[in-house]
Structure 1
Amino acid sequence: MSTPSIALLFHLVSISIFAIASSSSHRTADPTEAFLKCLGLRNHSFVPNKSTYTRRDSGYSTILNLGINNLRFTSTSTPKPLVIVTPLDESQVPPVVQCAKDVDLEIRIRSGGHDYEGLSSVSQLPFVILDLMLLRSIDIDVASRTAWVQSGAIVGELYYKIAKASPILAFPAGVCPTIGIGGHLAGGAYGTLLRKYGLGADNVIDARIVDVNGSVLDRKTMGEDLFWAVRGGGGASFGIILSWKIKLVQVPKNVTVFTVTRTLQQNATGLIYKWQNIAHKFDTNLLMRAIFNRIGAVETGDATIGVYFNSVFLGGVDKLLPLLKKSFPELGVVKEDCTEMSWAQSILNFNGFSINEPLETLQNRSINPRRYFKAKSDYVTKPIPLSAFQGIWNLFFEKEATGAVVIFTPYGGKMKDISKSAIPFPYRSGNIYSIQHLVYWSEEENAKAENYIAWMRKLYSYFGAYVSNSPRAAYINYKDLDLGQNNLGNTSYNEANNRWGADYFNGNFKRLANVKTLVDPGNFFKNELSIPLL
């Protein structure tokens, strides 16, 4: 038997001393102080007050609320973290995981703060927030048409960097520039290129993740099962995604954009019914959304419904108009409705900016206002009957619907060609479009927030007869706790599957639970909608 070296003995003694100190401090000390002390011991590059914020720090509330886009979760009654950590370097992330475990604290991970139910910023148990907003580097390789992007970068920053590197490259993620890449790709990520190139997660080719042991893994070292799970299965269940390697896609130098509005008096009902039957069959270069809300005031008698046909075509107007004339002449789109611009500029256009807006605006993390809202999602497998739309319009004439909007996004194209089990996101062939239901209200109206949430539930209930069922499909990036939730992370697989797991993941839920059981058997990474142990 060989004799251990002095260096090895010193190392083992150091580990033992640290373990004893850590165990003792977490039994007796304030958890905030114990957590900060642990960070200092585990990472000497950690600098207090530069990357951590406690409730005693003046910048605490600013940093906390900066990463919460749904103002419902900024109230004084909302549970607050003991500590917010904003790492300056990837090396500072593993100690956060290790110390949260040592001190027995929950961990919440956020990149852009677009979590619809606030789960990246809220926990019912003592917790810390790991906010990745400062880990936002983007490295574009035009020659290989790939990029490495850190999870704290927002979608707009990625689009801007790609556009600056090449006018004919893009990435098929969302239309909202302020979404954080980390959570967006972990849930699937769809946008105006989904009919041509699929989801953002379909175009991820590598990732770097911190696992429950604090190890940093890439695709090769994490294995294909975990790599499969993090691309659409919700990364917060399995670890902390540091960065993604993505495959860039080709777009023409100029695309064509138009938005035309039709009211009930202009046959909006007939047009949206026709849209349902054809939008998923269009040329894959065309994506045409149908968005509707109420226009005018009920009190003055001039209220109506406006349907916005919001489109981007990967090509020039000279090719678009003949296509529309053949497939959707009733819409009556003319050349004057159309504008040619770069694909990156089309993202600004979809957010209400003119063609003269500088591309640098995409990097602005405040480009979209923060609001109070409740959202839900659906998938449609066959057109909603024409007669059913009158019931929808009636609901939109109720007073709580002043700030309501519904977005229909067509599928087909590439989406129907990708296997339902290629990644955890299962809703491919058989779905003709997805629905996002939203209702907004102001700060002045927030005292009656439950009225708006109740209205949203009523709208969702009405749609139930016309959308997918068994399960009623939902999109994990549009989290909805009405569907069910974990009981502080202690819900069984069968309970979770029956409550919400099948809704979000359908037949992929069991495989996700298998992966979870293998990589996080202690269920450290958990929240109200995390994957349970099998």
Structure 2
Amino acid sequence: MLKMITSRASLLLLCFLFLSSLSWAASAHANEAFLSCLSSQLQNSTNISQVIYTPSNPSYLSVLNFSAQNFRFTTLDTPRPLVIITPLQESHIQITVNCCRKYDIEIRIRSGGHDYEGLSYVAQVPFAIIDLRNMSSVSVDVEEKTAWIQAGATLGQVYYYIANKSSTLAFPAGICPSVGVGGHFSGGGYGMLMRKFGLAADHIIDARLIDVNGRILNRKSMGKDLFWAIRGGGSASFGVISAWKVNLITVPETVTVFRINKTLEQNATTLVHQWQYIAPKIDENLFIRVFLSNVNSSIDGNKTIQASFTALFVGGVDDLLSLMQDNFSELGLVQENCIELTWIESVLNLFGGESVNNLLNREFPFKSNYKLKSDYVKVPISESVFEGIWEILYEEEINVVLMVLNPYGGVMSKISESKIPFPHRAGNLYHIEYQIVWAEEGTTASERHINWIRRLYKYMTPYVSMNPREAYINYRDLDIGVNNEGNTSYAQAGVWGTKYYKKNFNRLVKVKTLVDPSNFFRNEQSIPPKFLPWIQRIGDHSPMGKDIM
């Protein structure tokens, strides 16, 4: 009897190994066919060595890791793409989409690589990366006050080319120059001008998108619903953005910045508590953010908490001093704390750059291991709660830990939650970014530090937004929910989707169902399609320009 069982087990094992070998062989053949599809079609349009990088290419790893900002996703165990495509023109994107779709290869789209969970360059299934670094032109029209910006451009490049044409034109987006506009714009994109001018996505007036069928669509041909979806809904769920057209804003010749640091010994707890009541309601020309971190005290060298009040005022120093005296005199701002600058100089000052030419550098200088999370605060937090936060911040003695508080109000409270998919508008006092950065390598270190930030996030649960507990899509956080590999259910995706988009998630799903019903453009937190009775099977002939709302 034992001999019979052993024989059957051996037979089953042989069958399993045989089927596995067939599956591996079929997969390898499909991958070869996919690469052949790419190379044969790209060969006809360009020098292929400038566009396609496979693992056998000596430059493959350097191209892969150049825009990978988070070392958590550059380990030897991290899955790597079958190929990296660095298109020089839109036709290269079309070819890539068509070949990937034909052979069921997932696409990851990368413009700057600052996505915090590595979704633009990591996948758990066979995948290709479209790296848009070569499509980075910025064309500024001073008279029209607009710009066409290719999706591979960085914020630094955008700011540089705007300032090169005008000292009084600007654009409201983030402060980190190496962030790619492709993802930043499509997720909303906030910065120090947010309270005065709103988000980057609020100023998008046109776009060029390659859809699931390889078609190039603009605002008119894609229709109002798809155009609505890509401005804050994460465009990677709907296609590949090759370029954005934006309205530029007008700023004065002079703006003013200041930075004041206060420790616990200098009454930081009370000042941060007061800031909650002042910063969201003060004049919209003033944006005061607060960085909270643990530092060594200058008094006795022991650990303390530092609150760094960092501000941009759209105006001159005299008006700023008067405004602060009337609204937040407790901070003790004096003229010596203030610096009057041009707008482009303020960009450098706030990030720490030395020269305007540094804005053209695509490489992020502070690569490391990190994890971020986000929250929105609607009711002021008590001083005792902040004291509890300080205790948690003290736990991390060596590594960089930050909480960044970004005030709302101003224009942000005047824009409807449904104007674009980004819903976090009126009712928010401020947004919190939690961040931990560490140098140690290995899974054990990562788990320890990630568990720390999760404890901080859990501690904050009673004091932040609820039902849903809101989160910012550009601070991608897989802790709040993920899709299944392949297709996922509407209910499952809604767990994380309502946190990012609130009620706008439903409309995003309808748009996805119309334009990509097969869910080709997908990742761990992409918008899923849903079968709706009133939508017939669309297939490859989905109508563009048809309104669904």
- TM-score tier after normalising by the smaller chain length: over 0.9
1:257, distance to aligned residue in structure 2 (A) = 0.6
User: What CA distance in whole angstroms lies between the structure 2 residues aligned with 1:242 and 1:207?
Assistant: 8
1:403, distance to aligned residue in structure 2 (A) = 1.0
User: What CA distance in whole angstroms lies between the structure 2 residues aligned with 1:176 and 1:295?
Assistant: 23
Cα separation, partners in 2 of 1:27 and 1:213, compared to 1, 3 Å: farther
1:481, distance to aligned residue in structure 2 (A) = 0.5
User: What CA distance in whole angstroms lies between the structure 2 residues aligned with 1:443 and 1:76?
Assistant: 15
Deviation digits for residues 493-515 of structure 1 (CA, Å, limit 9, x no counterpart): 11211x20110000000000000
User: What CA distance in whole angstroms lies between the structure 2 residues aligned with 1:393 and 1:171?
Assistant: 35
Given the alignment of the two structures, is residue 212 of structure 1 paired with residue 212 of structure 2, yes or no?
Answer: yes
Does the aligned pair in 1 maintain the 2:67–2:363 contact within 8 Å?
Answer: no
Counterpart of 1:533 in structure 2 is 529
1:401, distance to aligned residue in structure 2 (A) = 6.6
Counterpart of 1:374 in structure 2 is 371
1:233, distance to aligned residue in structure 2 (A) = 0.3
Counterpart of 1:340 in structure 2 is 340
Counterpart of 2:36 in structure 1 is 37
Counterpart of 1:22 in structure 2 is none
User: What CA distance in whole angstroms lies between the structure 1 residues aligned with 2:491 and 2:146?
Assistant: 40
Cα separation, partners in 2 of 1:28 and 1:363, compared to 1, 3 Å: closer
Counterpart of 2:20 in structure 1 is none
Cα separation, partners in 2 of 1:445 and 1:318, compared to 1, 3 Å: farther
Q: Which residue among 508, 513, 520 is the counterpart of 1:512? A: 508
Given the alignment of the two structures, is residue 402 of structure 1 paired with residue 379 of structure 2, yes or no?
Answer: no
User: What CA distance in whole angstroms lies between the structure 2 residues aligned with 1:30 and 1:359?
Assistant: 50
* Secondary structure, counterpart of 1:280 in structure 2: coil
TM-score between both structures, scaled by the size of structure 1: 0.92
Counterpart of 1:176 in structure 2 is 176
Counterpart of 1:487 in structure 2 is 484
Greater shift in the superposed pair: 341-350 or 29-38: 29-38
Counterpart of 2:225 in structure 1 is 225
Q: Which residue among 410, 422, 425 is the counterpart of 2:422? A: 425
* Secondary structure, counterpart of 1:223 in structure 2: helix
1:446, distance to aligned residue in structure 2 (A) = 6.7
Amino acid at match of 2:383: L
* Secondary structure, counterpart of 2:305 in structure 1: strand
Amino acid at match of 1:65: N
Greater shift in the superposed pair: 31-40 or 460-469: 31-40
1:27, distance to aligned residue in structure 2 (A) = 6.0
1:291, distance to aligned residue in structure 2 (A) = 0.7
User: What CA distance in whole angstroms lies between the structure 1 residues aligned with 2:449 and 2:355?
Assistant: 36
Amino acid at match of 2:401: A
Counterpart of 1:134 in structure 2 is 134
* Secondary structure, counterpart of 1:242 in structure 2: strand
Query: How do 1:191-206 and structure 2 match up within 5 A?
Result: 191-206=191-206
Counterpart of 1:470 in structure 2 is 467
Deviation digits for residues 13-54 of structure 1 (CA, Å, limit 9, x no counterpart): xxxxxxxxxxxxx96863443223212443411433221111
Counterpart of 1:4 in structure 2 is none
Amino acid at match of 1:252: P
Does the aligned pair in 1 maintain the 2:188–2:200 contact within 8 Å?
Answer: yes
Greater shift in the superposed pair: 39-48 or 425-434: 39-48
Counterpart of 1:247 in structure 2 is 247
Does the aligned pair in 2 maintain the 1:400–1:455 contact within 8 Å?
Answer: no
Deviation digits for residues 90-147 of structure 1 (CA, Å, limit 9, x no counterpart): 2211000000011221111010000100011111110110100100011100001000
Cα separation, partners in 2 of 1:343 and 1:56, compared to 1, 3 Å: same
User: What CA distance in whole angstroms lies between the structure 1 residues aligned with 2:342 and 2:486?
Assistant: 45
Query: How do 1:42-441 and structure 2 match up within 5 A?
Result: 42-43=41-42, 44-296=44-296, 302-353=302-353, 357-399=354-396, 402-441=399-438
Does the aligned pair in 1 maintain the 2:172–2:194 contact within 8 Å?
Answer: yes
1:219, distance to aligned residue in structure 2 (A) = 0.2
Does the aligned pair in 2 maintain the 1:400–1:452 contact within 8 Å?
Answer: no
Amino acid at match of 2:178: T
Does the aligned pair in 1 maintain the 2:69–2:364 contact within 8 Å?
Answer: no
Deviation digits for residues 241-271 of structure 1 (CA, Å, limit 9, x no counterpart): 0000000001111110110000000000000
- Tell me the percent identity: 51
* Secondary structure, counterpart of 1:438 in structure 2: strand
Amino acid at match of 1:456: I
User: What CA distance in whole angstroms lies between the structure 1 residues aligned with 2:266 and 2:281?
Assistant: 24
User: What CA distance in whole angstroms lies between the structure 2 residues aligned with 1:174 and 1:30?
Assistant: 44
> Unpaired segments of 5 or more residues in structure 1?
1-25
User: What CA distance in whole angstroms lies between the structure 2 residues aligned with 1:164 and 1:45?
Assistant: 33
* Secondary structure, counterpart of 1:282 in structure 2: coil
User: What CA distance in whole angstroms lies between the structure 1 residues aligned with 2:117 and 2:29?
Assistant: 29
* Secondary structure, counterpart of 2:432 in structure 1: strand
* Secondary structure, counterpart of 1:516 in structure 2: helix
Give the root-mean-square deviation of aligned CA atoms: 1.6
Does the aligned pair in 1 maintain the 2:204–2:247 contact within 8 Å?
Answer: yes
> Unpaired segments of 5 or more residues in structure 2?
1-24, 531-549
Does the aligned pair in 1 maintain the 2:348–2:355 contact within 8 Å?
Answer: no
Greater shift in the superposed pair: 136-145 or 288-297: 288-297
1:368, distance to aligned residue in structure 2 (A) = 3.3
